[in-house]
Amino acid sequence: MCVMFQQFKNIETAFRHIRLFTAVLIIATVIITCYTIYRSYLYAGDAQQKVFVIIDGKAIQAVSATRKDNIPVEAADHIKVFHSLFFSLTPDEKAIQFNLSKAMYLADKSAKAQYDDLKEAGYYDQVVSGNISQEVSCDSVHIDINQYPYPFRYYGKLRIVRPTSTVIRNLITDGFIRDLNTRTENNPHGFLIERWAIIDNTDVTVNNK
């Protein structure tokens, strides 16, 4: 009889150990499953922040960011594009009008006023009749994002090629840039330049041919 009770006791102890082991295993499985699900959500969220752009047949990862994070970069590029369209000229009336019409989408009436002054002075007619080409290069763009609209100053150089000479001029302009919160085909950055003015446009070098 004692032997029988001892066997029952051993069986009960073994079942207790099995139940304990099973409980520990279930808890461990639940913890691992929850951790795996949590990491999967983190990975999915991280993947949504990544965009791959194909450039020259190569996939390049681009990380998405908020509009506010991109303001300094996008606003500076908007300013550079505007100056390139406004000041890069060739002795072709249609090409000049095409670039200037695109530039007008990027700025307010202050740019139109500058254009009207140059046109009234016969500047564009001189470019065409004199076979003059003009190109602008940007040195730097300074933007103060602590104020709104954002004040900026553009520093660059104008290279004017005439049949008899090549002239390098300073080009310094300033103004303000405002966020339109809307991107269009004509204004892909969604900014507008306001109160734009030319501060310096003096000759630096003149090389006669």
Residue 11 has pLDDT above 90, yes or no: no
Residues 6+ apart with CB under 8 A from 144: 150, 151, 152
Distance, CA of 112 to CA of 115 (rounded, Å): 5
User: What pLDDT, on the 0 to 100 scale, is given for residue 200?
Assistant: 94
User: What pLDDT, on the 0 to 100 scale, is given for residue 62?
Assistant: 54
Q: What pLDDT band is residue 176 in, cutting at 50, 70 and 90?
A: very high
**Stretch 156-179: mean pLDDT, rounded?**
95
Residue 48 has pLDDT above 60, yes or no: no
Residue 160 has pLDDT above 80, yes or no: yes
Residue 46 has pLDDT above 60, yes or no: no
**23 compared with 167, residue with greater pLDDT:** 167
Nearest CA to 166 among 126, 123, 206? 206
Q: What is the tens place of the pLDDT at every residue in 120-135?
A: 999 999 999 999 999 9
Instruction: Report pTM.
Output: 0.69
Q: What pLDDT band is residue 10 in, cutting at 50, 70 and 90?
A: low
